[in-house]
Structure 1
Amino acid sequence: MKKLIFIILTAIMVSCNNEPSLQKYFVENSESSNFIALDITPSIINTGKLSLTKSDKEALNAFEKMNILAFKKDSLNDVAYVSEKKKVKELLKGKSYQELMRMGSGNDGGALYFVGEDDDIDEFVLFANKKENGFALVRILGDNMNPTQIMKLINLISKSDLNMKEFESLKQMIK
């Protein structure tokens, strides 16, 4: 019996991964005063007034949640901004993240990454940076997503009647 317990405990300890990850980064920084954190569920997308196609419904069904973490840069946290931006870039260089596309320049720009296969994507990550304001990380989590569904989802979000109170803290940061 002692051997069985020892084997189970060993398996649990080995399976606990202490490597840095984007998910851990979100959790560790969601309470920091330098960051704004939002978790968005599909219910924020009010599609009641929209006429949805079959592919629109498939895109909505594939979407599980969206996590947003934004670093609010100011004159007092410039060193922290540089450090945090470097951490995020290192995390996104990890073997599970594949770059889909890049926009803009190093100081003002962004990149879109994904985790999974081209037609079976579990996570999209947008990393956007503006030197004056800070940076934002957006994780779109789902099941069996593809780039077309993400584009449809973004289109549906823009057409739907969103509860903008959820985004008030982000709007203040962008100003």
Structure 2
Amino acid sequence: MIQSIKKSIVVLLLITAFTSCNQGPTLQTYYVDNELKPGFVTFDIPKSIVEVEKLDMTEEQMEAYKSVDNLNVLTFLKEDTEAEDYKLELEKVNSLLKNPKYEELMRGGNSKDGKFVVKFLGDVDNIEELIIFGSANNKGFMIARIIGDDMNAGKLMSLGTVLDKADIDEGQLSSLRDFFK
């Protein structure tokens, strides 16, 4: 009986190990693996930096705001690294974002200044994670992961218009602002 239980536990551990390994690299693992490496800068932006009490928001906009939990940003600064390292990291991120589980919402930019792409996990009416990936040819790249519950693409877009008028604590955004200088 004890041998049978031991064998079952070993089999269960092996199955868990193999299924965990088969998931392959993800944007989340890339973020965690690189957040402390030279050339990378990370920060979390709480949604509390937007003082919503001072905003005149529609019910739809307030719903969109409440659906967002937090914003995680990872930047890779080109000036802090070798050109080959930058190319390698850029290829890794582009490869991760080619995974069909990431649905594309929009893209833009140009080959001279830089490009951006907005992707998401889930479906348009129930987004689990919104990903904004931008690369500036002379600066580096940035990955912003907006995590939330039941985020809706249309409602999030309507939130963008009111955030332009928002009173935002600039101190918490200094690292992000510096990236775009």
Partner of 1:12: 16
Deviation for aligned residue 1:8: 3.2
Contact 2:119 2:130 in 1 (8 A): yes
Partner of 1:31: 36
Structure 1 segments of 4 or more deviating over 4 A? none
Deviation for aligned residue 1:104: 1.4
CA separation in 2, counterparts of 1:79 and 1:42? Answer: 36
Decide which moves more: 109-118 or 163-172: 163-172
Corresponding residue SS for 2:146: strand
Kindly indicate whether residue 65 of structure 2 is the aligned counterpart of residue 60 of structure 1.
Answer: yes
Of 125, 131, 138, which residue of structure 1 is paired with 2:131? 125
Kindly indicate whether residue 92 of structure 2 is the aligned counterpart of residue 72 of structure 1.
Answer: no
Kindly indicate whether residue 57 of structure 2 is the aligned counterpart of residue 46 of structure 1.
Answer: no
CA distance 1:159–1:121, change in 2 (3 Å) = same
Deviation for aligned residue 1:76: 4.6
Decide which moves more: 100-109 or 118-127: 100-109
Aligned identity (percent) is 33
Q: Deviation per CA, 1:97-146: give whole Å up to 9, x if none.
A: 11111101245111111111121111111111110011111111111112
Deviation for aligned residue 1:92: 0.3
Which residue identity lines up with residue 8 of structure 2 in the other structure?
A: L
Under a length normalisation based on structure 1, what TM-score does the superposition of the two structures give? 0.89
Aligned length: 175
Of 103, 120, 145, which residue of structure 2 is paired with 1:98? 103
Contact 2:61 2:156 in 1 (8 A): no
Contact 1:122 1:143 in 2 (8 A): yes
Taking only aligned residues, the RMSD between alpha carbons, in angstroms, comes to 1.9
Contact 1:36 1:170 in 2 (8 A): no
Decide which moves more: 19-28 or 149-158: 149-158
Contact 2:39 2:81 in 1 (8 A): no
Tell me, which stretches of 5 or more residues in structure 2 are unaligned?
none
Larger C-alpha radius of gyration, 1 or 2?
2
Corresponding residue SS for 2:154: helix
CA separation in 1, counterparts of 2:27 and 2:128? Answer: 14
Partner of 2:173: 167
Kindly indicate whether residue 6 of structure 2 is the aligned counterpart of residue 2 of structure 1.
Answer: yes
Deviation for aligned residue 1:150: 2.0
CA separation in 2, counterparts of 1:68 and 1:123? Answer: 13
Tell me, which stretches of 5 or more residues in structure 1 are unaligned?
none
